[in-house]
Structure 1
């Protein structure tokens, strides 16, 4: 295998970024092992590629490829889009398929179908699968997810390429320079949320001139599936000096989050994929203790979180309010409306539309209140230009859905749509959506679940 690797052409087009590259944060501190987090590629360094806009991408792709059967590995090692490889899909009885960033659909790697022996060999080459059917390659950021039959037999593998990226933190360096502002990242799968919080862990733990300090903060990563710090007992160099707590069972993530605060006194807690009500409550508990949170959550835009009763606690929660007749008349609304019921856990919410285009809700409570009123909040649109500079522009919020609404041009009045139905039916609808407590869908149960203004 070593001879085979040596015969391949080295990664081409690698050039060191000059120190004067616009939009670059130069991290201070001890030298980083294997160049992780460095803002330039060393001469002759393989698996390192500058991207447009001042970011540097590193991967340990060879470690993943050598876990695959030879007939699948060879086409990928010589593939012209190797550096854009997103994942390799191996399904029993089907041809192996590679998927690339920015390309619709996949590409078959060979004509022969995947056999049970192929899957067994690949399984032996990676780490042990957990209860969430995820494993990794020790010392790397790659993730391997298993498909199993009803009897538990392995019938498929999804081999996801993990990459260490330096430079994305420039998009929000003014925000993370202020201690205490908790940040929630939203975005479609594959847009780079985990990659960003991994770099944030390194920069915040080591300190950076661009953050106004060379002293790092006490950062603890709660790593449920080893996606942030990589597989193995020693964290990947991409997280720098941040400490990492592994989670033995995904259902225990909320307990490990609280344990991190109680036992290790962090200033910052970083967690990936907040997805249950218990984890949302754990986030609130941590924030109430004065610890800064950086997290990702399921959802592409802020409205997804507002419409998800499980996650609304992250942005203060949503509760129905019953107005008096006079108040409803003065507001021009029906008697039952939705309002934010408490302070937000995350003062900053970032929608990652693309890798170099982010929408920032800051402060997030104002955006939540405006959306619940059916209005369009003013947000920050942050884009990285070709020169690597981050351009910030204040614009009216657009969730990107492209929906039309004839009500005075307002496209975000989903919370006001109850005005077209009766009070009784409105309360029943809120009950079914999970915003009201109590039993049954009756209006009386709904009234007890809300507040009266």
Structure 2
């Protein structure tokens, strides 16, 4: 296990004195007499029970007397206002006071959780944070997700001078009150009045305040997941936490799976299913992930990092257990890295897998991942004869690149789609020189003058459902790649993964010169090298691992 660097010095700011001041005097006196008060996690006050101080390894009673309503009222009067989530705080601190109510709405219990700003917690993932990629933190409650999120906001704002907005739903990140806690540094904080408004405030942060980074704690609803995707598509870096301990949990969570690309069921033809040895219905990833990196916080000093979420999800759906990079902070203050070893469960080759989503067509996304695309029913094309062209077959057979005229379609997204697939296409703004027109369904229904002009000239009009990157990639794949191309690219993508994990060259099946060219282009997008070996008709591509580049 190699050592990568010494850990940064860790400092703690807990503002514990402010919390003690809101507690009843007899409970406060007991706490002040405890030697381990710096390890305190929370104080529990339940009506009719003894007050408790909870530590990582257990709890102690703070009094032989039971908690009374007067004790609860004493605390409630000295903390901030409780919101709809039954949480309150203490101004300029990170402490959280959560209430338990009876059927009549009266408070009968309080959990006073100690909030600590720990400086130096992200040294273990600082290189990931500095990369500018979207990062999702996962882990069980109390493992330190919010603490790490807070430190990320401070580092990006203070050390890198970025415009950081913290969307603070329950004042968890920046504390209670109008002035944010100094633990977030120069980052700005937007408070959320109600939990159900978090998604709206996320979008408002992007539209009104021009952030470069948005920090969000606890993405937990479908609306918030959609808002996160919207933010990511606008080029803003996202750093967030979500419910779930591992990436596997997230993939299986129907509410939040969109954060990692989502999954969808696809029905294969009888021939394809027989060829693969699978059931006719398989699962595949339906979109690029919102988050590029997922960090599983296993405990405060041990993390598992999935550097390429797209590839990891595709492996999961193929029945291959992913092998994340594991980082450990040792007691001596050094950070050690352990590369995960690939493990394929015995049942992975069985037809009835837990997941089986080797997609019909898989192509590189240009960032080390893989995407599986299926053309929806309403992605259609009209030709000179007004008929829908056959699918799936490569429709462009010209000797030069096809020229596409985009109408009501984002040119920048189309350029990104072209960058992710090795297809012979150029974008033109001149309808006279266009070989085809690409537009969206809403515009095609209206048939504006420009589209009528194209139809009159006999220029094929291709229609996609919406103006999204995924729809454009699906169109390009369907129009310019045959099933043979797609199968060969899928083989190349799997070979790239094997070459990386096994650190040895991987040989592909013999292919024609055209398909070998596509495979070379795909492998190059993964930042690996390849070469062709053998003689025709058995000439084939060899994928080279990084160490022998």
- Measure the CA separation in 2 of the matches of 1:190 and 1:396: 29
2:6 counterpart residue number: 22
What is the CA-CA distance between 1:114 and the residue it aligns to? 0.5
Query: Structure 1 CA distance, aligned partners of 2:345 and 2:54?
Result: 37
Which residue of 1 is the match for residue 447 of structure 2? Answer: none
For 2:120, the equivalent position in structure 1 comes to: 167
Q: Secondary structure at the match of 1:206?
A: helix
Q: Distance in 2 between matches of 1:369 and 1:406?
A: 18
1:205 paired with 2:157, answer yes
Deviation at 1:184, TM superposition (A): 0.3
- 2:337 aligned with 1:392: yes
Residues paired across the two proteins, number: 355
d(CA) in 2 for partners of 1:319 and 1:396? 28
Shift of 1:194: 0.2
Q: Say if 1:375 and 1:413, in contact at 8 Å, map to a contact too.
A: no
Q: 2:302 aligns with which of 320, 339, 357?
A: 357
Q: After superposition, what is the alpha-carbon deviation per residue over 1:38-85, rounded to whole angstroms, capped at 9, x for unaligned?
A: xxxxxxxxxxxxxxxx42222011111121112211121121221110
Match of 2:289?
Answer: 344
Instruction: Kindly report which structure 2 residues correspond to 1:70-85, keeping only aligned pairs within 5 A, or say none.
Output: 70-85=25-40
Q: Is the 1:141–1:161 contact (alpha carbons within 8 Å) kept by the matching residues of 2?
A: yes
| Whole-angstrom CA distance in 2 between matches of 1:156 and 1:274 | 27
Query: How do residues 8-87 of structure 1 correspond to structure 2 at under 5 angstroms?
Result: 22-24=6-8, 54-87=9-42
| In structure 2, distance between residues paired with 1:413 and 1:298 | 26
Aligned to 2:168: 223
Q: Deviations over 1:67-113 (max 9, x none)?
A: 11122111211212211100111110111111112x1x422111100
TM-fit CA distance, 1:311: 0.1
Question: Which of 235, 239, 243 does residue 184 from structure 2 map onto?
Answer: 239
Q: For residues 114 and 378 of structure 1, what CA distance do their matches in structure 2 show?
A: 49
Structure 1 segments of 4 or more deviating over 4 A?
none
Q: 1:166, CA displacement in angstroms?
A: 1.0
Q: Corresponding residue for 2:385?
A: none
Taking the TM superposition and a 5 Å limit, the aligned residue runs for 1:391-410 are 391-396=336-341, 407=347
Distance in 1 (alpha carbons) for counterparts of 2:235 and 2:243: 24
Residue of structure 1 in register with 2:497 after alignment: none
Map 1:136-215 to 2 at 5 A.
136-179=89-132, 181-207=133-159, 215=160
Q: String of CA shifts for 1:265-313, please: whole Å, max 9, x gaps.
A: 0000000000000000000000000000000000000111111100001
SS at match of 1:266: coil
CA distance in 1, matches of 2:32, 2:199: 40
The 3 A distance-change label for structure 1 pair 338 and 246 is same
Matched residue SS, 2:165: strand
CA contact (8 A) 1:56 1:165 kept: yes
Contact 2:320/2:345 (<8 A) preserved? no
CA distance in 1, matches of 2:295, 2:349: 25
What are structure 1's unaligned runs of at least 5 residues? 1-20, 25-53, 208-214, 399-403, 418-450
* d(CA) in 2 for partners of 1:100, 1:243: 32
In 2: Cα distance, 1:293 partner to 1:397 partner: 29
CA distance in 1, matches of 2:33, 2:130: 42
Q: Which residue of 1 aligns with 2:355?
A: 415
Residue 408 of structure 1: how far off its partner (Å): 6.8
**Over residues 232-287 of structure 1, what are the superposed CA-to-partner deviations in whole Å (9 max), with x where a residue is unaligned?**
10010000000000001111000000000000000000000000000000000000
Per the alignment, in what secondary structure is the counterpart of residue 125 of structure 1?
coil
Q: How does 1:247-326 map to 2 (within 5 A)?
A: 247-326=192-271
| Mapped partners of 1:243, 1:407: distance in 2 | 49
Summarize deviations over 1:300-351 as a string: whole Å, max 9, x none: 0011111110000100011011111121122221111111000000000010
Looking at structure 2, the residues matched to 134 and 201 of structure 1 have their Cα atoms a distance apart, in angstroms, of: 23
State the 1:142 CA deviation.
0.2
Correspondence for 2:327: 382
User: Deviation at 1:23?
Assistant: 2.5
Alignment TM-score, normalising by the size of structure 1: 0.75
Determine if contact 1:372/1:413 at 8 Å carries over to the other structure. no
Q: Is this contact kept in 1: 2:319–2:348, CA < 8 A?
A: no
The Cα of 1:409 is off from its aligned counterpart by 10
Distance (Å, rounded) in 2 between the aligned partners of 1:97 and 1:409: 52
Most deviating of 247-256 and 382-391? 382-391
Contact 2:260 2:309 in 1 (8 A): yes
**Structure 2: which 5+ runs fail to align?**
358-473, 484-549
User: Whole-Å Cα distance in 1 between the matches of residues 221 and 247 of structure 2?
Assistant: 17
Larger Rg: 2
Distance 2:222 2:142 in 1: 24
Greater relative contact order (CA < 8 Å, ≥ 6 in sequence): 1
